[in-house]
Amino acid sequence: MDYEVEVPDPGNPGETKLATRGAGISLIVDNSHVSILDSTVSSVGLTGIYLSTRSNHVLVDGNTVHGTRKATAILAESRSHDLIVRGNVVYHAAVENPTETGIQIAGTTRAVGENNVVFDSRYGIKATGYVNSGGVEMPCSRVILRNNVAFDNFASPITVNSVGNRNYPELPVATDRVAVYHNSLSSNGSTSTRYGHGSGFYLLQLHSPQAELSEVAIENNIVDSGLGMFVNQYVNNPGAPPLTEVEFSRNHYYHAPFSPPDTYMGDWDGALLEDLIAWKTQLENDASGGTTVLDEPSFADRAAGDFQLTLDSPCIDQAIALTTITTVDDFTLGVESAMYFMDGYGISGETGDEIVIFDPFWDVVGIATVTAVDYDTNVLTVDSVLPDVRVGDLVSYGRDKNGHWRVAGRPDIGAYERTQGAKVEVCHAEQTISIAVVALDAHLEHGDTFGSCR
């Protein structure tokens, strides 16, 4: 089946998708070219927005999903591909289920989760490869998680995992080429408003010797506030390869005392100390390379959920480039790694990423839109010839999908240059106002509607 549907804006009274049982909005099998836009899903018993088997070329943009108490708020899974999950606000998700998540991209290839705000949920955002209960491999590959804000979540704000099935230990499952960059993560895990066991990032190879993570890049993120804000590897999977293909670069940790590894073993049976040592070594590489600062990141208003940076923040102009130019040939640019970028995935109305290219002194030498990405040869096709771009120049990511130019000079660590922080617009007394996302519940309760006035 191939069709296009826009779910009506439930900000209009009477159109809010509201249920007490079942899922909110579901695409079950073989749905392509579907957009789920500007909807509100609340208080459903199962998944809020569910993209199941082979949901392809799907855009999930601008929705608010909350109160999915036992389930994941937004879930894509099962051999879906070419998905964009953007600008959604998720809260009170999975609070009664220890394994579910705010936003989960599972068993999916080519997907972006960007500009979302997830708070007061169990896990924040996950990218997951898995083997399902029927013994079918569901790899997760070429996934980008960027510019998201996750705070006050019970467990980890961002999880990348590869989950084999105990019943099919021989089956391989791969989670590979996952790029996690420019996210702002605050007060999650053990310092969340509920007690949690999480950390800044949670990386797992689970249940099967064949469960493997490879080519995971975690860069330019802010991991803020309190104890346990660090990378956490857990393997209860003897024989699994070490996480040597996970790289951490230029993440800003704050309040990150390195507690003994066994603190984080928790009640997970079978975890191996040497795996934790491998994790710790990687963390220290992140720190010892001069790439990690431990200062207060200086958010505009952490308590109010405003994670934009103040002008004196140590994160400003401190990010590293995502990748570098290796070849230049008219409309094609070779890069060290193309995993950071997408081309619009064939979704109607979507363009590829706008990239900004700097010389080694952080002067802009080119701006272009990506029209195709070859993830195997690491070649970007772009929409214009860039005469000033040279081999060795630095590639970052420029304009957000609202068309705002948000990179000022060298990019900043964290999400703020490219998002509104954790702010959302509501329509209040026929006027569009911007509020802290933590105040959203109260505004909706007294009759405001989500999104700008129409």
Residues near Ca ion (CB under 5 A) are 317, 408-409, 412
The C-alpha angle 347, 352, 356, rounded to 5 degrees, equals: 165
Question: Are the beta carbons of 332 and 380 closer than 8 angstroms?
Answer: yes
The least distance separating Ca ion from the CB of residue 222, rounded to whole angstroms, comes to 14
73 by DSSP, 3-state: which?
Answer: coil
The least distance separating Ca ion from the CB of residue 340, rounded to whole angstroms, comes to 18
The least distance separating Ca ion from the CB of residue 407, rounded to whole angstroms, comes to 6
The least distance separating Ca ion from the CB of residue 305, rounded to whole angstroms, comes to 22
Question: Are the beta carbons of 316 and 119 closer than 8 angstroms?
Answer: no
Q: Of the two residues 129 and 414, which places its CB atom closer to Ca ion in the complex? A: 414
Q: Of the two residues 258 and 362, which places its CB atom closer to Ca ion in the complex? A: 362
Q: Of the two residues 404 and 454, which places its CB atom closer to Ca ion in the complex? A: 404
Q: Of the two residues 346 and 409, which places its CB atom closer to Ca ion in the complex? A: 409
Question: Are the beta carbons of 436 and 306 closer than 8 angstroms?
Answer: yes
Q: Of the two residues 244 and 310, which places its CB atom closer to Ca ion in the complex? A: 310
The least distance separating Ca ion from the CB of residue 291, rounded to whole angstroms, comes to 17
Q: Of the two residues 202 and 416, which places its CB atom closer to Ca ion in the complex? A: 416
Q: Of the two residues 240 and 309, which places its CB atom closer to Ca ion in the complex? A: 309
Q: Of the two residues 141 and 183, which places its CB atom closer to Ca ion in the complex? A: 183
The least distance separating Ca ion from the CB of residue 300, rounded to whole angstroms, comes to 16
The least distance separating Ca ion from the CB of residue 112, rounded to whole angstroms, comes to 22
The least distance separating Ca ion from the CB of residue 406, rounded to whole angstroms, comes to 9
The least distance separating Ca ion from the CB of residue 179, rounded to whole angstroms, comes to 20
336: Cα within 13 Å, side-chain hemisphere: 12
Q: Of the two residues 152 and 412, which places its CB atom closer to Ca ion in the complex? A: 412
242: Cα within 13 Å, side-chain hemisphere: 13
